[in-house]
Structure 1
Amino acid sequence: MNSPASPTGIRIGLSAVVIGLRLGEAVVLTTRAEDGSAALPFGPFDPARDRTFELALRAFVTDQTGFRPGYVEQLYTFGDLGRDSPRATQGPERLREVSVGYLALTADAADTAAILRHDGDARWRPVLDFFPWEDYRQGRPAALTGLEGALKTWAAGDARKQARVEALFAPGAEARWSDSRVLERYELLYEAGLVVEAARDADRPAPALPSGAPMASDHRRILATGLGRLRSKLRYRPVLFDLMPGTFTLSDLQRAAEATTGVTLHKQNFRRGVERTGLVRATGRFSTGTGGRPAELFTRSASDPLDGQTLGLPLPVLR
């Protein structure tokens, strides 16, 4: 016989990380949780009603936000015990919550901002508002100043913790920063009690450090997974084009790559690299909205370059 305090079943929830570009920033589609905090579009999977996870996900994203996602891919299944979610739900069912995260990319964030459902406070929010320590575009992030000191105190006397801090945050060594390790950095900050969610889940006062905008449940963890996946894929798949309009300048493309990775790229090397891949072609038209000399407009190549080999875009970081 099951103990009243033990989970007796599982409830599956689906979370959507929908990322786009708006006003030169990478943005994520959010809603508002019951406690007022930002949340990812989220809903339960009903095995009696829903034919597939993906169809259920698409339905509730559109219902909650008014936005219809295009291509989506599964990120990860989150089922750790001891986080705010998943945990056993309240009430006699005591169901264990398992979250299945999905990633969707869109080129329509700017165009759909005005038609989102505002009764659920659906909005596009800058991704790096949630991870300010991930934004190196203006140099070393200011948020790291306080966080590094707190991490040093937390890891003092523990060689293993110190090694993790060094590997993930590379204090004083920007060249060793790995932009794709977003989740690992967030998890370390959570373990050290330096993000709001860690204090909330342990019923402690929130930290005074600038540790980014909090999210409901474990949604910032899921968002970190999505951002890390996107940054990693940029290097071997041309997924950046899934965020771009039909035509764009090479400066537009570079700003999109920088907004996504959080680093500044070398302009000439980026352009030469893009042209070598064969992933873009010139349209013969020019943009007059650049504020200076008209810039040539490009579009994604219709055929796979280099004998069908699939490539990512070059990301030559400016040092």
Structure 2
Amino acid sequence: MQAPALCETELVAVLVCLERGDPQVLTLNRGAILPSGPLMSGQHSLQKSLREWVRQQTGIRPGHTEQLYTFADTHTGNGHRRVRISYMTCLPPNAKSAEVKSLPFAPVLFDQDTKPTNPLVSFYAYFPWEDRRNPDHAARLAPVLLALKDWAGQDVARQQRCAITFGLAGHSWNDELALSRYELLWEAGLLQESCPQSEPACTTGQPMQYDYRHVLATALSRLRAKIRYTPIVFDLLASHFTLLHLQQAMEALAGRPMHKQNFRRLVLQQGLLEETEQMDSSGSGRPARLYVAGRGAQDNCYLAGAKSPLPDLAW
């Protein structure tokens, strides 16, 4: 009788913050892996084990965590199966401990000419095609779309899938399809992780070990979905913020610009914020009013409805 295959369990933490105008994730080993570890001996709680691994590896004591997804199709070097249970935590600016700034590992940034200085890496270093705030995004994405077109060939089903996923041929770009876009690029062999023995046909972001980039893509899709109907963006902001800070945070998470007047009207009409007497004088112009998240933000929050139109993408 054949012995049953052994299965290992790994808990993976996606620690998200807003830093330098981008959604960033805390990484280890020069951006190659995420904080993680097995279920601790004698520990019956997955989340308690996860928090302890995060504390040991980063110096951070995470607060509220939510489960992302369980990845059960990974394998270890010894032939055992590994189940990865991933969790996500949002870190406000004051939650990043001093230990993080001095950790002895640093990420490799997407811009290789930039010297890495800390373990925080932009999501868009791993998924550069997801950041559509910059007008030159279409030009940077063109080689990826060309490689996808070659992969799809005359297969109508593949062509349709590419069009829907990447917002081509009359389809709109859907921010929340970040995971679908990653999985499509994987299937097309355009990610380094999906073709380790050869170079992909085009540059598609910074790779990670194992399937950690798949975990990150899941987190990005979850974040973009949650900013549509929950106040999760406030978890990533300082307690006091301006309307511009809030808009920039939403743009960073969605990876697309938003219409300034429409966004402010949408926010104020919903009664999501409470005005304070304090002003922000850090900018070069007139001091801006500081706000805090109001009680209404917990019951009803719809901030993603003021999107500016995006330029069409072409094959």
Check if 1:60 corresponds to 2:53.
yes
1:75: how far off? 0.4
Check if 1:40 corresponds to 2:30.
no
Query: 1:51-73, CA deviations, whole angstroms, 9 ceiling, x for partnerless residues?
Result: 21101111111111112211110
Q: Is the 8 A contact 1:39 1:216 kept in 2?
A: yes
Change (3 A) 1:114 1:254: farther
* Alignment-mate amino acid for residue 300 of structure 2: T
- The 4+ residue runs of structure 1 with deviation greater than 4 A are none
Gaps of 5+ in 1: 81-85
Q: Is the 8 A contact 1:10 1:95 kept in 2?
A: yes
Question: SS of the counterpart of 2:82?
Answer: strand
Moved more, 102-111 or 241-250: 102-111
Question: SS of the counterpart of 1:194?
Answer: coil
Check if 1:19 corresponds to 2:11.
no
Change (3 A) 1:87 1:117: farther
1:88: how far off? 4.4
Q: How many residues align?
A: 297
Q: Is the 8 A contact 1:247 1:299 kept in 2?
A: yes
Q: Tell me which residue corresponds to 1:83.
A: none
Distance 1:77 1:115 in 2: 27
1:113: how far off? 6.3
**Percent of aligned pairs with the same residue?**
38
Q: Tell me which residue corresponds to 1:167.
A: 164
Query: 1:255-284, CA deviations, whole angstroms, 9 ceiling, x for partnerless residues?
Result: 000111100000000001111111111102
Q: Tell me which residue corresponds to 2:191.
A: 195
Q: Tell me which residue corresponds to 1:237.
A: 230
* Alignment-mate amino acid for residue 310 of structure 1: N
User: Within 5 Å, which residues of 2 pair with 1:1-319?
Assistant: 1-2=1-2, 8-32=5-29, 38-46=32-40, 48-80=41-73, 86-90=74-78, 94-108=79-93, 111-112=96-97, 115-116=100-101, 118-121=103-106, 123-139=119-135, 140-171=137-168, 173=170, 176-200=172-196, 204-301=197-294, 303-304=295-296, 309-319=299-309
Distance 2:98 2:264 in 1: 30
1:297: how far off? 0.5
When the two structures are superposed, what TM-score results if normalisation uses the length of structure 2? 0.89
Gaps of 5+ in 2: 107-117, 310-315
When the two structures are superposed, what TM-score results if normalisation uses the length of structure 1? 0.87
Distance 1:65 1:240 in 2: 23
Distance 1:149 1:260 in 2: 26
Distance 1:30 1:109 in 2: 18
